[in-house]
Amino acid sequence: MAADLDEKTDRYESMLAAALNEATAVSPPGTPLGDAAADCREMAESYLEDGRHFRSNGDPVNALASFSYGYGWLDAGVRFGLFETPSESELFTT
pLDDT tens for the chain, residues 1 to 94? 566 999 999 999 999 999 999 999 999 989 999 999 999 999 999 999 999 999 999 999 999 999 999 999 999 999 999 999 888 777 877 6
Q: Domain range for residue 11?
A: 2-84
- Counting the structural domains of the chain, the total is 1
Q: What is the pTM of this model?
A: 0.89
- CATH for 57: 1.20.1270.90
Q: Which ranges in the chain belong to alpha helices (H)? A: 2-22, 32-56, 60-79
CA angle 73, 76, 79 (to 5 degrees): 155
Residue 92 lies in a domain: no
Residue 93 lies in a domain: no
